[in-house]
Amino acid sequence: MKFDPQVELLPYPLKELDLGDAVIEEYVIPDEARELVLNQLYLFTPVPKLWQWKRDIHTNRVFQVRQYRVLRHGGRNWLFGPFVEDDGGSVIDWIPAAPPRRQKKEVDASSPA
């Protein structure tokens, strides 16, 4: 059996993504298809829920799984976190994370209490 490194395109539009030293393509995935695509491309089990939180170990930043991105490069589809432009990692670089803390709203001294 011969390994074919090419995989079919996903049925979503592609846009160019300029990463400085490379121009690759990114799928524009509608919200209603995000769970389906995540289930197709996620490499591990269990597949996380869209509302869960992960940390990108390359940027040390927390994100909600629904923010994932799918890039097309070298004839393959790659699942990445949202921080691609900041050298963020792919799905293998995601670790579980707690939701970020909410910032307390500062009380404006000029507004009436």
- Per-residue pLDDT tens, the chain, 113 aa: give them: 445 567 899 999 999 998 888 779 999 999 999 999 999 999 999 999 999 999 999 999 999 999 999 999 989 999 999 999 999 999 999 999 999 887 666 655 555 55
| Of 59, 101, 51, residue with least CA distance to 80 | 59
pLDDT at 70: 98
pLDDT at 19: 84
pLDDT at 1: 42
| Of 84, 105, 94, residue with least CA distance to 18 | 84
